[in-house]
Every structure is written in C-alpha cells, then in structure tokens.
Amino acid sequence: MKKFIAILFFLISVSLTAQPELRGVWIAWGGNFQSVPSKEDIAKMMEDIAAHNLNTVYVDVWRYGYPYFRSKVFYDLTGKWTDPNLPEGRDVLADMIAEGHRVGLHVEAWFEYGFSACHDKNDDLYQARPEWFAQRRDGSVLFNGEYRWKWLSHVHPQAQQFLIDLCQEVADHFDVDGIELDRVRYPELDCGYDPATVAAYKADHNGAAPPTYVADSEWMRWRAQKLTEFVAAFYDSIKAVNPDLFVSNAPIQYNYGYQNFCQDWRPWINQGYLDFVSTQLYWPSNAAYVPELQRQMSYITDLNKFYPGICSIANNYLVPTNEIIAMIQSTRNHGLRGHVIWYYHTLADDLPELKQTVYQTPAAVPDRPQDWRQPAIIINEDDSTVVRSSGWTAYSGIPGFKGGNLYCRQDGDRWIEYFADVPQQGWYELYVFNIYHWNATQRAPYVIYSHKRADTVLVDQNLPGTARWFKVGDFYYGKGSGQKIVRLSNANIGSGKLLFADAVMLIRSRRNLGVPTAVKVAENSQLVDTFKLLQNYPNPFNPSTNLVYILNRDGFVSLRLYDVLGREVRVLQHGFQRAGQYTLTLHRGELHSGVYFCRLQRGDECRSIKLILLE
C-alpha cells in the first residue's frame, strides 16, 4: 500500500455537512486495447468511486486514434465504429454510463486526445483524410517523439467540424452529463504549416506566409486566437444539441501552456465559451500546489467556474495521501467549489482515507438539482415483485447481476414479468442485464410497457459485446407504484436456443426527448400536442448538419430536401414512425453550395426550415 496516513488535523478540520462540491476523477487507461477496462472492472470502479463520496467521473471516449463509443461519424470516414480490437458490439461509453448512473454518479464524456487524432499505427483517420492533418515546417506529420502522434490541423474547417460532429454525436445519442474536450492546443510550436493553416494565415496577413521562426510572438498569438474561435464554436454547437450539458476543458496551466503550445484558455472561460475549467495543477505537494493555485485563480473572473485539477501521480511519483488531502482542503480554503483528480487507478488506494477526512459525507454537484442523478431502480429476477411462469431453471454458470440467473427453452409457454415503483413521471432509460451465452437466442423478445403503449424489442443474447447491462431504449413512464414495465417470453426464440432472464434497471434520463404520444400536463387539461422540425445545427454548414424533429403521435412521415427552385433533391425519411424525437445527419454529398429547404410532412401537417450550405 502506498501513501502516508493522514494526520488527525484534517479529521477535525472537515465540516460534517458537505456543501455542493464537484468531486471528480478522470478514468483513463494505457495505450492498447488490452488495457481497456472490462465491463466487470467498470462496475467495480463506479461502485468504489460512489462508495467513497465522489460524485463525478470523466470517462475517456477519444484516445489513441479511436472513439470508445460506436460512432457513425467515425464509421462514415474510416469504416470502423470503434476500436476494432474490442469484442463485437461493445460500446465502452455505454458501459461507463450504465454503471456510473446505476450508482448515482454524474458521467462526463471526456475526449481526452482532442486534436491528437492518431497514435502510431492507429491512423485510420489519417488514411481517410490526410489533408486534415497538421504539419511541421519540413512538412512532416509526426509529433511527440516516440509516441508518433498525428494531430488534426487546428484551423482546417473540416477537421474542426469532425471534432464537433464527434462530440455532438455523444451529446445527441448518450445520456451524459457533460462534454470535456481536451488537447485543444498545438503539440509544439513547430506546428501549423499545413496548407489549410498557411492559407488562413495568408488571408489574414495580406498574403504573407507564416514566419519560419516558430516562437514569433504574433504567429503564436494568431494560432492561440484560432483555438479560441474554435472553442467558441464548439461550445455553441454542443449547447445547440443539449443546453443542459456541462462543457469543460482541462488545459495546461497558464502561461506555460501558451509559451509551449499556443494555448491561452483565459478567454475561453472569461468570455463564456466554457461552463468551467479544470486547469492541470499537477504538483506532488501542497506547498508547491498553493502558489500555483493562487496564480491561476488570478486569471479567472468568476471563480465559481474553476475546478482545479489535482494529481495523485506526478511524473511517476505517487503523491502521498496526506498531500492529496491537504490540496483538497487548500482548494476549499480558497473558496472554490470543487476539484478533479488525475486519475482513478493511482487514486484508488487513497480513497478510504479521503472518505475518513475530506469526503466524509456525500455532496451534490454545483449548479445541478440535488436529485439530478439518483441510484437506479433495479428489479432482480428473483425479487418478490417479479411474476413468472413455470419452466424456468436456475443457472449459476454465468454470473448474473446478483448471483445466478434463469433460463428456459422454446418448449411450452414461458414468461417473466417485472414490476417497479416509478417515483417521478418522465423519460427513463431501460436496461436489461444481458446474459451472453454461445447457444443463447439472438431474438429475446422484451415487451416494454410504458405510458399508454407497449413496444417489443428483440435483444441479442449471443453477442459478447452486449453482455451485462444493455440499454433497450428510452421510455416514458408515469408516476406510480407496482407498474408492469417488462415482460420477457420464449416466443419465437428459435429451436434449441436458450433464453436467459436476469435483472432489469430503470434510470431517469436527462436528455431532452420531447413528449410521448400522450401525456397529462395537469388534471382535466388537454394533451400536449407537438409536431416540430427544429432548426438544423450547425447552420450554415459544411460538410454535414443535424436535423431534429419531434412527433407527438405515430404516423406516416416524410422528410424531404428541396433547392431554391422547389426541386426535390433528397428524400431523408419516408415511412411509418413512432412518436418521439428523431435526429439524423445530413451529409453534403453531391449537393452544391446554396440555400435549401427541408420539409417535414405528416398528413395535412407540414413544417419547413431553411438551410445554408457553404462552399
């Protein structure tokens, strides 16, 4: 065991009533797929973090050349959804969200590597779009020495849009609590000589090329300003998808980051382009930490937006526990509302002492309602509220959520029904604890009972990447006790196949999913009626934009794109759709720059918006 024992002074100095405080920790792993935490490891990490009264996890979703979620944006460019070494169907971010929200943690999607988009041989994006990448003065694209990283051009509009699209994809499709995009900086000063950056610089300087002296003061300031412009556009783009998401960054301390990487984060936080900043104050002792903390505080107008980054390891030196405790206490003594610690694997041994001293009681996350994230509602297959037919066999060969699980075959009429007490009306994510088995059915028919409707969803129990908690979908529930929420049966599972039953889980969703088919807004009032086509984002756009529309009831829907002469140029949707909110990405493809109109129609109802495609 590492670390020194914290002294009694800190036990006495900690208040027994915790004020709202961001207590965050970054979760990362080593440089190859074998280091990616297993589903079981993720569950243990989240339980450990929550048990020791931290409240926020920053989970790595963009590192070493791959998104660690199933990304359509990345797939469209490279033909790969995620790290190809992962088990088929695996989505690491989905695993992190399920396990983190299960225990009531806030989960932030952390795009750790930002503009550093390729690592050594993991260069699928470079192979697809080499023109998007940054260059040195000599035209080479490799940076960071033996790591052999390739960085996206910081000025290339399509490279910037790729990062925005990647983050918007998470904001739109996952119930995260925030987006943190890091490495918004240059890898070194000898960077920015790619054609896109050179052309942009010339446009701003009457045709003059960038200086060959990499530390030229005006050249550094110009590059820093371009990063600021990107951060501003990024912030607006994420808020357009979900205004409730926190948008943050963990930059290098100023002015070291500026002098070496053209990173000046001061306008990012002071001009409203971030919700908060977690500057990396990675010092091995409190004595070194406090002066730097005070210096960084002097650069920030609103200190409520400052959650400094503290380290549990500094240059391979494990920081003693008593020093970590002292740095947390110093942060509080300076009136700051939280901190984030780098990183879980070297912090885990410290957590028991932190709980005894500075994390004695839980704390809510600042600027969030206290009940924003509550532990999940879980119904196990052997709970007293569960009703099932005969013909099920207990099985312990594969662990379930609690102990074993149940299975049956296709013979006979086998079913199991789950009931739950729903504390609040609203949208919920529904998960099933999926048992993977080589002979399991690929068509486990879950009937989901939600607000005035029943939907059947087929779940593959024969796909290794979907084992453990598997999200079935988002469903709207009214408040009430003893509601039937799920029925699973052996109907049409396939001859000779096994059907497994284990726990189901409800987690309150914080995504803006619109309204269900019918919802009572108040007693004796009319039903909510919403049929909307929202303005696309971004707009103007190039090369892609997102379209969002909301249907208040089921029906036959068409979504079509027209040019300024009224000619139909693309059919985006044509067919029956259930009530709900839908998002799709419109890619430029063969379209020419100009003005277009998008029309949503259902029967006699129609909605239209104007889109602008830039060259």
Q: Do residues 587 and 561 touch, judged by C-beta distance below 8 A?
A: no
Q: Could you tell me the end-to-end alpha-carbon distance of the chain, in angstroms, rounded to an integer? A: 60
In a domain, 282, yes or no: yes
- Check whether 162 has a pLDDT greater than 60: yes
In a domain, 142, yes or no: yes
Output the CA–CA distances (angstroms, integers) from residue 454 to 131, 493, 551, 558, in the order listed. 49, 19, 17, 24
- pLDDT value of position 17: 42
In a domain, 68, yes or no: yes
Q: Following DSSP, what letter does each residue of 520-535 receive, concatenated?
A: BSSTTPPBP--EEEPP
- Check whether 120 has a pLDDT greater than 80: yes
In a domain, 522, yes or no: no
- pLDDT value of position 33: 52
Span 156-176, average pLDDT: 96
Cα 378 to Cα 468: distance, rounded to the nearest angstrom: 13
Predicted confidence (pLDDT) per residue in 497-519, tens digit: 999 999 999 999 998 887 664 33
Same domain for 284 and 160: yes
- Check whether 34 has a pLDDT greater than 80: no
- Check whether 127 has a pLDDT greater than 50: yes
Residue 386: name the closest of 482, 506, 493, 457 by CA: 482
Same domain for 332 and 473: no
pLDDT > 70 fraction of the chain, expressed in percent and rounded: 94
Cα 5 to Cα 206: distance, rounded to the nearest angstrom: 63
Task: List residues bridging with 116 in a β-sheet.
Answer: 151
Q: Do residues 388 and 415 touch, judged by C-beta distance below 8 A?
A: yes
Q: Do residues 432 and 406 touch, judged by C-beta distance below 8 A?
A: no
Same domain for 347 and 493: no
Residue 153: name the closest of 171, 138, 141, 137 by CA: 141
Cα 231 to Cα 482: distance, rounded to the nearest angstrom: 47
Span 429-439, average pLDDT: 96
- Check whether 548 has a pLDDT greater than 90: no
Same domain for 312 and 245: yes
Average pLDDT, the chain: 91
Question: Hey, which bits of 374-526 come out as E strands?
Answer: 377-379, 387-388, 393-395, 405-408, 415-422, 426-434, 444-450, 453-459, 468-477, 480-489, 499-501, 504-508
Q: Do residues 556 and 601 touch, judged by C-beta distance below 8 A?
A: no
Same domain for 421 and 285: no
In a domain, 362, yes or no: no
Same domain for 435 and 292: no
Q: What is the CA radius of gyration of the chain?
A: 26
Same domain for 470 and 549: no
Same domain for 538 and 464: no
To which residue do tokens 């004695």 refer? Answer: 360
DSSP 252: B
pLDDT > 90 fraction of the chain, expressed in percent and rounded: 75
- pLDDT value of position 579: 75
Span 130-142, average pLDDT: 97
- Check whether 526 has a pLDDT greater than 70: no
Cβ of 10: how many Cβ atoms within 10 Å?
Answer: 18
- pLDDT value of position 48: 98
Taking the model in full, what pTM does it have? 0.82
Predicted confidence (pLDDT) per residue in 575-592, tens digit: 888 777 787 888 888 888
Binning pLDDT at 50, 70 and 90, where does residue 556 land? confident
Q: Of 326, 357, 388, which residue is a domain's last?
A: 357
Same domain for 587 and 503: no
- Check whether 528 has a pLDDT greater than 50: no
Same domain for 478 and 405: yes
Same domain for 538 and 501: no
Instruction: Give burial (CB, 10 Å; 0-12/13-18/19+) of 549.
Output: buried
- pLDDT value of position 31: 60
The 3-class secondary structure across 154-165, one letter per residue, is CCCHHHHHHHHH
The b/e string for 108-143 (b: 16+ C-beta within 10 A; e otherwise) is bbbbbbbbbbbbeebbbbbeebeebbbbbeeeebbb
Residue of higher predicted confidence among 575 and 413? 413
- Check whether 87 has a pLDDT greater than 80: yes
- pLDDT value of position 2: 41
Binning pLDDT at 50, 70 and 90, where does residue 32 land? low
Cβ of 60: how many Cβ atoms within 10 Å?
Answer: 24
- pLDDT value of position 313: 96
Span 106-122, average pLDDT: 96
Span 116-143, average pLDDT: 96
Cα 504 to Cα 428: distance, rounded to the nearest angstrom: 12
Q: For the domain that residue 463 is a member of, what is the CATH number?
A: 2.60.120.260
- Check whether 13 has a pLDDT greater than 70: no
- pLDDT value of position 380: 98
Same domain for 591 and 470: no
Considering its fold, how many domains does the chain have in total? 3
- pLDDT value of position 521: 27
In a domain, 363, yes or no: no
Cα 295 to Cα 266: distance, rounded to the nearest angstrom: 12
- Check whether 339 has a pLDDT greater than 90: yes
The b/e string for 554-568 (b: 16+ C-beta within 10 A; e otherwise) is eeebebbbeeeeeee
- Check whether 320 has a pLDDT greater than 90: yes
Q: Following DSSP, what letter does each residue of 431-455 receive, concatenated?
A: EEEEPP-TTB-S-EEEEEEETTEEE
Q: Of 452, 477, 508, which residue is a domain's last?
A: 508
Task: List residues bridging with 180 in a β-sheet.
Answer: 110, 248
DSSP 67: E
In a domain, 341, yes or no: yes
Q: For the domain that residue 240 is a member of, what is the CATH number?
A: 3.20.20.80
Q: Of 476, 508, 540, which residue is a domain's last?
A: 508
In a domain, 516, yes or no: no
Range of the domain at 569: 531-613
Cα 234 to Cα 160: distance, rounded to the nearest angstrom: 9
Binning pLDDT at 50, 70 and 90, where does residue 3 land? very low
Q: Do residues 289 and 280 touch, judged by C-beta distance below 8 A?
A: no
